[in-house]
Amino acid sequence: MMKRKSVILIICILSIYMLTGCQLALENMEINAAYEDRLIGVFVTTEHLDLFDFESYLHDNIRGISGGNIIVSGNTQKYEGRLYAELHTKMVTSEVTGESFKREEYVFPDVYGIPYFAVTVTGDEIIESYITTMSDPAIVDGSMHIHASDDSGKTVLEGTIYVTPGGKERLYYFNPVYQSADDRVYTLAGGGISTHGVQSEGSVMSQTLEATTTVTENGETKTYGISVTLSINIMIPPEKIVLLEMDTDNNLISRVEYMPGSLPKSLLPNPETAYIIVETHKKCLSEGDIVARDIYSKDAESIKTFFARDDGLCVNHWTYIEWP
């Protein structure tokens, strides 16, 4: 097993929007008269979203500027701009069945980032309203749980982003995402963290963003909540993946090496194979060569390995096992 070291997280607060304790509440709101935009998730970017309306701020505060110095202070929330997402439709092919189907997704134009939010899709006479997750493959082990009752509902999102260690500073900004009454999706500039100087493999940070909205509809009060927990973990990128097929007497049947990300979509083991050992080989500056091993028996349906993308993130690669 891999040795895990404790690491130090360098947290840089880079925006006035803090990600902790974000509470949205409005008592006795009439649903037809007013609507509070709901927090639905987060949009992670590697660059700060410059959405501040500086021109309007200068126009409203021109009298407070003197000596060539401009100091942004006071309540600036109304000057914080929004970046709206566009609804796109694309064809997606299932890796399991091979069938293609249409999928709608919200895309923030001209901005590279990692979406992770749960959108409410308004229904009609035929289809009821439902919640669907917008995510990126960079979100590993992502899960969504919905808790509902007559007077409340809560959506819980969890996931992990694996970042490769590097010498240069890397910044990740957590920008909150909201959905308005007319179903538009937008994000606001959020706070950021730095992983500069963190080289050891292991957990770096776990951040939770929560919000609660209370509405009154037809005289009944209902509460809607969301909790988004997203971790950023350091992972040393794999250099090669080795698959070992073993028989019931623990004898080696076959050994095949792969480059990370190049494993086949499906694997047909030898008829005598009782279990499969998956070796992940890595190189660590402080510990030298590292080999992590996972065992897959005949009740396993797939093999999960990792590979590093060009953006410095490690993502899953799935190989389905077709046992004889």
pLDDT tens string 252-305: 999 999 999 999 999 999 999 999 999 999 988 767 788 999 999 999 999 999
Cα dihedral 174→179→185→190 (10° resolution):
-20
Q: What pLDDT score was predicted for residue 152?
A: 86
Cα–Cα distance between 38 and 24 in angstroms, integer? 8
Instruction: Kindly list the distances between the CA atom of residue 274 and the CA atoms of 193, 257, 269, 319, in Å, as whole numbers in the listed order.
Output: 45, 19, 9, 17
Cα dihedral 109→110→112→115 (10° resolution):
0
Cα–Cα distance between 280 and 39 in angstroms, integer? 38
Enter the DSSP assignment of 237.
P
Q: Which residues of the chain have pLDDT under 70?
A: 1-35, 52-80, 94-98, 167, 196-199, 203, 217, 286
Cα–Cα distance between 3 and 8 in angstroms, integer? 16
Tell me phi and psi for residue 131, to 5 degrees. -110, 130
Q: What pLDDT score was predicted for residue 144?
A: 92
Cα–Cα distance between 170 and 312 in angstroms, integer? 10
In the chain, the amino acid numbered 247 is D
Cα–Cα distance between 71 and 88 in angstroms, integer? 40
Helix (H, G, I), strand (E, B) or coil at 75: coil
Say if residue 150 is exposed, middle or buried (CB neighbours under 10 Å; 0-12, 13-18, 19+): exposed
Quick one: how far is CA 60 from the chain centroid? Answer: 37
pLDDT tens string 14-51: 332 333 222 222 222 232 323 478 899 999 999 988 87
| Residue 19, both tokens | 């990600």
Residue pair 116/41 in contact by the 8 Å Cβ criterion: yes
SS3 assignment for 204-234? EEEEEEEEEEEEEECCEEEEEEEEEEEEEEE
